[in-house]
Amino acid sequence: MTSEERAWMAGLFEGEGCFTMRRNHTLRMEIAMTDRDVVERFAKLAGVGNVNSLDKRVHQRKEQWRWSISGEKAIALALELRPWLGTRRGARVDEILAAREAHVLEATRLRVCPTCGKEFRPTWNKVSLRKVFCSKACAWPQEKHTAYKREWREGRRKQGLTVT
């Protein structure tokens, strides 16, 4: 992407696009326009995302075309366009990215595993905020695992099946 292309994309996004934060704290970028060629040019330069036709609504006389991306790709592109964005949209991007960073920090904070007592920091993903145990083994302690295996073997034996 040349700087002219980047500036063109930022200009178009300034007028026709919007940045939103999804519930799972990811950034979403979207452009919807009636000019299909313009949206397709934007998508081609971005190198990510697809262009889809929007359902025709009653109040719309012309078909609309939408391009959108979210997640890490959206963050990367937003940061590339950031220097050319105006005050309002630039501030919007900063606000969303700051909220995301705060969420990631909170979700990956140091905690103590209730099974082994070790301090650990979960890697960032959708469930890290709810992560309680340091590992699968701790989430399902050895005694429970052994008891389960014993029951399973007994069950098989009762049914007359071979146990390996």
Q: Which residues bind Zn ion (CB under 5 A)?
A: 113, 115-116, 134, 138
- Comparing CB distances to Zn ion, the nearer of 110 and 163 is 110
- Comparing CB distances to Zn ion, the nearer of 129 and 138 is 138
Least separation in angstroms between residue 122's CB and Zn ion is 12
Least separation in angstroms between residue 112's CB and Zn ion is 9
- End-to-end CA separation in angstroms for the chain: 60
Q: Could you tell me the two tokens for 22?
A: 């999804």
Least separation in angstroms between residue 114's CB and Zn ion is 8
Phi and psi at residue 111, to the nearest 5°: -145, 165
Task: Decide the pairing of beta strands 50-53 and 65-70.
Answer: antiparallel
- Comparing CB distances to Zn ion, the nearer of 51 and 138 is 138
How many other β-carbons are positioned within 10 Å of the β-carbon of residue 49?
20
- Comparing CB distances to Zn ion, the nearer of 34 and 146 is 146
* 65 contacts 35 by C-beta, under 8 angstroms: yes
Least separation in angstroms between residue 141's CB and Zn ion is 9
Task: Give the residue ranges of DSSP H helices in the chain.
Answer: 3-16, 36-46, 72-81, 87-107, 136-139, 142-158
